[in-house]
Structure 1
Amino acid sequence: MRQAEIIDVRRWSAKLRDTLAMTKLFVMVSGCTMMTIVLLVLAGIGAERGDHRPMSPLKGVAMTMSAGFFGDMLKMEIPYYDGGGSRQGGSFSPAAAGAFLLQLLTHVNPYDPRSLLAAELPGMRGDQANVLYSGSGASPGDAPVDLLPGASAISPAPESPAPTPAPSAPPSGQSGTGAAPGAGEKLVFIYHSHNRESYLPELKSKGITDPDLAYDAEVNVGLVGKRLQERLEDKGIGTAHSTTDYPSEIKGFNYAKSYAYSRGTVQEALAMHPKARLILDIHRDSLRRERTTATIGGVDYAQIYFVIGKKNPHWEQNSKLAEQLHAILEKNLPGLSKGVYGKSTHGNAEYNQSLSPHNLLVEIGGPDNTLEELYRATDALAAAVAELLAGAVPAGNPQP
């Protein structure tokens, strides 16, 4: 009898130890979970105070995880959840978790060697961006793509460069703005830092079918700027437009320095047109047609979005202006605007916007859009600009 009692005590003692161990594990897991939640909340509060969009960084983290990763996390807690039943193996493994953390911290994907090269070689990785104001025309993964073209795509025009009319000689060492001051004040100034960005449908006659080669000295984004100028002037808004072809005018042209070249253009424009209320740097995106086109009322439009350089210490002012213009587009033609994006860590990320709180970078369409689609979008943008300027204030002097 005595031996049986001793054996029974040992059994209950083992159960007690197991219970204590499980309790300890439960407390540790609960504590880690609570700590994670607190850190996420603090990160959200910090982002809200800094960027005015608390969820953008968290969305960026979530988008780097695969659906399978989330499914396997749920499966660990819900025994009867099979993660959709369509995958073999699991994503939530030490290797997968390590790869995710490495990519989150360094932007290098260990399963994609290109990401390692992209971190070191110019042009291999586009400038990453976060959404400041999302538009109804945006889709997941629609962040701006701005890739460095090859040397063969950008070269001085053979003999007849794109015209650059200038009313007076520009300051020594600066290229002309190509903006002729007409009667009345110029309230809008349009220019193109990447003035040769072009469109494949308009380059068929030249045999160009590769989007990486969609650059041209004559048929390019400058036509979009010209259309915008014409529509604004039709509305009685004085507009100046720079048609400077930097590859032809800058000796030893370097595409990576495009914004340094166009900075002189903006400075000259501010001096010539001190009452300008809006400065627009018009670009063409590099995404393909399905990501740059919206069908509204049965008609195709090239989509529009705005980019804010957060290396500019006063970027919040530029951002608010872009949001106002985006809101007008969203009201007039829902789906046309993809929203406002901010760039802060890669590439230029300043875009001459420190020169004026009313300087915006605007992306219209991509290499697969036609001029008709671009012009429809440009006409809508002109109407939005006219509505915006009804309550705008002068751009003022360059900021320090």
Structure 2
Amino acid sequence: MRYQQSHVITVSKVHIQSLVITVIAFVIVSFVVIAMLTTAGNYNRFASTAVHDFTSTLQSELFIHVIGTENRHYLEAASEMSTPSLSSVALELATQVNLEDPRTFLGRELPGFEVFDDTIVVAGEGTDLTTMSIESSPPPDAFIDQEDDKGEQEEVRPSLSHEDALVHIVHTHNREAFHPYSGGENYATEQNIVEVGKEIGRHLDEAGIPVDVNEDDIHGMLIDRGLHFSRSYDVSRDVVVDAKNKNDNLEFFIDVHRDSQPHDITTATINGEAMARTFFVVGTDHPDYERNKALATELHYRLEDEYPGLSRGVLERGGAGTNGVFNQDLSPNAMLIEMGGIDNTFDELNRSAEAFATIVETYIYEQLEEEEGE
């Protein structure tokens, strides 16, 4: 009788674990590569900016733990942080959805939710995701070509202008209005945000700092050029660039806006007086935005030292659905401020304009002294 010889193949537990880990690693790498190929634009695939944009969506704790594998001091400093799970990291790499941050998936489904994609750099008193700065869009009839608007635009003249100005104040959304004076309308051709910019300029001028306050009707320019409201910063850019070309002395650029949050969020009582609160907005969609952020942060802390509670903080804004530059790439000393909200009065706004001008005045004189000492 012949016996057929049989072969028994044994597989150790270590081999099985290695195989499983290899498969998981392959799946994760595949997800990462596919995600980068599909999320990066054709013009910048594999460029450093694409990598920056891609990784900026990941949890910061992940990078700290990765670096901590080489330098244990990072893990000691981040002892209160939990180690991200492999599954959540893989999901975030593949889909840019963070299960711990509902904004990452709600924002794709809810219209207007992209406002909550902003990043709070420095939070002032009461500032959180529920009190972020909100921009109000003009009503549909705001872009009807009206002769009255054109007539008013032709009569506009700068109220404060110096040939050797150091500061240029512009109002990209120049018709942003305040309900106490606009009959409840969000936009108006008179008694709007321009009055606040003029007040800031007046105080700087009285302090001996030459200012150019631009009062161009940028909204009217959009109508004349047949452009959408989203192109407002393109038009105001032409205004700022023209000012720079005419005056080499210009160093500081302030774009003044008003928020759409209600009165209780945009108002603070300081020394017994109601004042419109200020929010600094920094555009992140240009390479040198960190310098603009440093300026905004510095002014925030100075404002808080002198007027505790007046600043709502510093906000980063960029990505899809917004301009993301706000012409701040034109100068490291360019800033965008949201002064007050839609329900504030000019008494409240003027007090804040004076306070803000005082802070800026001191900062500018310090910078001029440093330049003279070099």
| Pick aligned residue for 1:116 from 109, 131, 134 | 109
* Residue 252 (str. 1) matches residue 226 (str. 2): yes
Secondary structure of 2:189's partner? coil
* Residue 349 (str. 1) matches residue 324 (str. 2): yes
Q: 1:322-333 residue pairs with structure 2 within 5 A? A: 322-333=296-307
Partner of 2:61: 41
Q: C-alpha distance in 2, partners of 1:335/1:188?
A: 26
One-letter amino acid of the counterpart of residue 284, structure 2: K
Partner of 2:131: 142
CA contact (8 A) 1:286 1:367 kept: yes
Q: C-alpha distance in 2, partners of 1:317/1:135?
A: 20
Q: 1:258-297 residue pairs with structure 2 within 5 A? A: 258-297=232-271
Partner of 1:107: 106
Partner of 1:242: 214
Partner of 1:161: 152
Shift of the 219–181 alpha-carbon distance from structure 1 to 2, 3 Å rule, reads closer
Shift of the 281–44 alpha-carbon distance from structure 1 to 2, 3 Å rule, reads farther
| Paired positions, count | 280
Shift of the 297–164 alpha-carbon distance from structure 1 to 2, 3 Å rule, reads same
CA contact (8 A) 1:135 1:335 kept: yes
Secondary structure of 1:390's partner? helix
Could you say what the CA RMSD is over the residues aligned between the two structures, in angstroms?
3.0
| Pick aligned residue for 1:182 from 142, 147, 162 | 162
Partner of 1:170: none
Q: C-alpha distance in 2, partners of 1:283/1:46?
A: 41
Q: C-alpha distance in 1, partners of 2:277/2:145?
A: 30
Q: C-alpha distance in 2, partners of 1:360/1:352?
A: 9
Secondary structure of 2:225's partner? coil
TM-score between the two structures when normalised by the length of structure 2: 0.67
Partner of 1:222: 194
Secondary structure of 2:336's partner? strand
Structure 2: runs of 5 or more not aligned: 1-58, 68-76, 82-96, 370-374
Partner of 1:22: none
Q: C-alpha distance in 2, partners of 1:140/1:165?
A: 39
| Pick aligned residue for 2:272 from 291, 295, 298 | 298
CA contact (8 A) 2:258 2:341 kept: yes
Partner of 1:315: 289
1:164: how far off? 6.0
Q: C-alpha distance in 1, partners of 2:103/2:125?
A: 28
Q: C-alpha distance in 1, partners of 2:129/2:355?
A: 24
Superimposed CA distance per residue, residues 2-56 of structure 1 (whole angstroms, 9 cap, x where no aligned partner): xxxxxxxxxxxxxxxxxxxxxxxxxxxxxxxxxxxxx763345799xxxxxx99x
CA contact (8 A) 1:197 1:216 kept: yes
Shift of the 263–127 alpha-carbon distance from structure 1 to 2, 3 Å rule, reads farther
1:138: how far off? 3.0
Q: C-alpha distance in 1, partners of 2:65/2:351?
A: 40
1:348: how far off? 0.7
Partner of 2:358: 383
One-letter amino acid of the counterpart of residue 355, structure 1: L
Q: C-alpha distance in 2, partners of 1:256/1:196?
A: 14
Q: C-alpha distance in 2, partners of 1:124/1:101?
A: 17
